[in-house]
Chains A and B, each alone.
Chain A
Amino acid sequence: MDPITLLLLIMIGGILIGGGVHFIPVGGAPAAMATATGVGTGTAMLAAGAGLSGLVTAASMSGQPFYIIALGGAVGAMLMIALTMVTANLIYVFGAGIVPSSAKVEIDPITGRNQEKYVTPGTEGHGIPTVCFVSGLLGGLLGGAGGGLVYYAISEGFKGLNGFTPEIAGGLVAIVAVGIFFINSVIASYNIGGTIEGFHDPKFKRIGSGIISCGIASLVMGAFVYLLTIGVLPIGGVA
């Protein structure tokens, strides 16, 4: 793969990862006490879990064209996010007797259900209502696809190099892809200050600056991956 395509794919992947994080509904620590809407953990934490599940499914599509690998990543990440959100809601509803509801909107833009009446007074909502669930699925789709693209770009970038034997392929590509995924997801988390409800949250308007910074950072990381390909070349053969 030529360096320009490598850089471009890593940049697009990074933008998708950074953008996807903005969709994932996380309420941080307060959500674990049913004091805020969303999944009860940090953005970067949930994105890491979803992204890595996506990476496992994306890597099992190795050898396929880029859109299949990206879709593989998306399916893995969406599965993880969807299962997590359903299980969390089961615990909110049956374990704590709570109705999933958002405090950021009066009515759920997807189901049209009133939210305000169902929010416990003194809290900022709780659980994962349908609009957050859909937003989370979109986040998994984008983030997982981005992770898959980065994985594809790196493995194609090394393909054909002398030092790139099947024994080292899995480890090398995976660790670099994991690194790029983590950096982008943390930059995006900084952008939303650690918590967001989904695309209906006012904070979502900041997505522009998140995408720009992830894009630039990924471009620099792409250049680093290119340096890495230069180094893999001479091993076990003539440069």
Chain B
Amino acid sequence: MSAAGGGPAGSAISSELLLVIGIIGGLIGIYLTPLNHLFGPLFASLGAVCAIVWGSDAIRRVASYGLGTGVPSIGYMSLSIGIIGTLAGIALASSSLLRGLSVVGPVLALVLSMVLGLVVAILAKKVVGMKIPILERCTAEIAGAAALSVLGFSAAFAGSYDFAQILTLVIGPGYIALFFILNTLAIQHPFNACLGPNENQVRTLKLAGACGFLAMVIIGIITIGNPALTWKGIPASLLINIVGLGGWIIFFKKYVSASFKEAASVKWTGLWPKIEE
């Protein structure tokens, strides 16, 4: 519950670049889902990982101002916004109003989530009186990242981003609850875990990559539950797990070596050094 303050430290990677990676990567991944039942789910979950990295950076920017309620609250608020926006978006795309246009579902989910995020942030600033200059932009960004990451994992599990499929395969059995809380943790953990005066963006984003791929491994295990996801005898869960584990090992190693390099000292035994008062 430590509060940070004073705005974000310098960033080596621009927020615009991460935004583009998140939106484009996330949407491409989700739109590639219908490709087939092996590579489709893989691309969808990779898209979700892109969105998680983008969301982590947005959390980093807004939470470094000190929200008064800790980092996690904005995380699960934005994920809630993302869930409601996503469901409304893909539902609208499959409704009779937009007959035959279900292809706009993911874009609509992203847009509706960001709009709801913007509304909540404007209320928090204008009515509640919060004084964080970038609250609107960041809340909208986290909500958008939430929408793409949840939709990405849902599409990976259902093998389609069609509302009917997701409703019966993901929402009915309650998998959506896991995607909600798992992505909350994956998006808000990197900055929260690296909080402190010597935090740096690159190390935080390495952790974000690791968290995203770890979530992907979980999705890979769970896709065993959808037996339809095989192609030429290869189950999609196997491929998602291999790629997810590989990605996780790469990013986790990078994060650990960055931590060892930036630590004041790394000790395997003994007491702390004497410091001057």
Contacts and interface: CB of A to CB of B under 8 A. Distances in A.
Direct contact of A and B (CB under 8 A): yes
A224 B112 contact: yes
B69 A42 contact: yes
Interface in A142-198: 163, 165, 167-168, 170-172, 174-176, 178-180, 182-183, 186-187, 189-191, 193-194
A231 B97 CA distance: 9
A212 interface: yes
B271 interface: no
Contacts, number: 159
B12 interface: no
B70 A171 contact: no
Given A179-B81, A186-B77, A232 B91 contact: yes
B88 A228 contact: yes
Contact of A186 (B74, B97, B127): B74
A212 B126 CA distance: 11
Contacts of B77: 44, 182-183, 186-187
Nearest to B2: A29
A225 interface: yes
A86 interface: no
Nearest to A189: B69
B94 interface: yes
Interface residues of A, number: 50
A235 B116 contact: no
A217 B125 CA distance: 13
A190 B67 contact: yes
Nearest to A193: B68
A233 interface: yes
Contacts of B90: 231
Interface in A210-237: 210, 212-213, 216-217, 220-221, 224-225, 227-236
Contacts of B120: 183, 187, 217
Contact of A232 (B83, B124, B167, B176): B167
Interface in B88-141: 88, 90-97, 112, 116, 119-120, 123-124, 127-130
A235 B164 contact: yes
Given A227-B91, A227-B92, A171 B73 contact: no
Contact of A44 (B73, B116, B163, B176): B73
A123 interface: no
Contact of B128 (A172, A175, A190, A229): A190
B73 A178 contact: no
B24 interface: no
A76 interface: no
Contacts of A53: none
Interface of B: 1-2, 67-70, 72-74, 76-77, 79-81, 83-85, 87-88, 90-97, 112, 116, 119-120, 123-124, 127-130, 163-164, 167-168, 171-174, 176-177, 180
Given A183-B120, A233-B95, 18 more contacts: A45-B73, A165-B172, A167-B172, A168-B168, A170-B172, A175-B83, A175-B171, A183-B81, A190-B124, A216-B127, A224-B112, A225-B88, A227-B92, A227-B95, A230-B96, A230-B97, A235-B167, A239-B96
5 contacts: A42-B69, A42-B72, A45-B73, A180-B80, A190-B68
